[in-house]
Amino acid sequence: MRILITGGAGFIGSHLAERLLGDGHEIVALDDLSTGRLSNIEHLLDHPGFEFRQGSIFDGSLLAGAVAEADLIFHLAAAVGVQLIVDNPVHTIETNVRGTEVVLEHALARKVRLLIASTSEVYGKSQEATFREESDLVLGPSTKSRWAYAASKLLDEFLGLGYHRQYGLDVVVLRLFNTVGPRQTGQYGMVVPRFVRQALNDEPITVYGDGQQTRTFTHVTDAVGAMVDLAFHDEAAGEVFNIGGKEEISISELARRVKSALRSRSEIRLVPYDQVFGSGFEDMMRRVPDIEKVKSWTGYEPLRTVEDVIRDVAEHERGRSGP
């Protein structure tokens, strides 16, 4: 099968390409390298089943050509990272909403199955103990740019599911919960690679807020496995799936585990949100997925622990070059 991955040079996209190549598929990775990196896919460029096309999904002829050859599409191209979103809310909204719209238009023209990568951010400030796919979504006010990303990705979901219901397009929505692992950059606020890099350099490990906010982290290998299983599940069209981990951990505890695992001399330092993201920044205290749906459909079970994540990210950081 020939598979198109938009955002294919990104962190998740590059791991997804590796997995699909290993399964015997041909891959076209489309990426404008705005947040993706060529270094993520350099080891794939000589693979006979891999092709990289540099450019934007807003390049109509480039996208049309890639979709015309595809039997399946993973749409991962998006503006990502809290820092990028706070600094560039217009770019975030335009990239995510219009980008998904044009991919949907081209997929519909060719009747190609499309998997849309969404995010746990769409649950917003919900107070539920665990987030189910049918849970109510509670976003903050539009005056807080923090919520631009969540709102844009939620609109992506509505568009995708609308194309399914109205036009019969085969669309699957994947809500990813804090996917982490090698090749993820801390440049835009991603917490694990930032902590690991700080610890390796014996710099202060900077925890934003009071550190009591909790998350579950999903090793990218586990997440990609679920994504691939759903891509080839005949009954998944029109459905939304959480893909996440099981171990809930506070950000302060994450910092302590990173420091311990890497035998770092770093101090752990709390930094108020407003010093990083500006006045009025809002965050959610818990973000824990209910993964029973994806488990019942595919047998998904996250196998890798937080310690596995820290080890793999640290190994990558020690071996990387450049910024």
Secondary structure (H, E, C), 268-321? EEEECHHHHHCCCCCCCCEECECCHHHHHHHCCCCCCCHHHHHHHHHHHHHHCC
Query: Phi and psi (nearest 5°) for 117?
Result: -80, 115
Supply 68's token pair.
């015309």
Among residues 90, 86, 96, 74, the alpha carbon closest in space to that of 28 is found at 74
Bridge pairing between strands 72-75 and 214-216:
unpaired
The answer to whether 103 and 73 are in contact (CB under 8 A) is yes
Could you identify the residue written with the tokens 């005056």?
Answer: 143
The answer to whether 163 and 174 are in contact (CB under 8 A) is no
From the list 149, 163, 208, 300, the catalytic residue is: 149
Distance CA 57, CA 84 (A): 19
Distance CA 151, CA 111 (A): 27
Distance CA 295, CA 243 (A): 9
* 167: annotated active-site residue: no
Give me the half-sphere count of Cα atoms (radius 13 Å) on the Cβ side of residue 66.
32
Residues involved in catalysis = 149
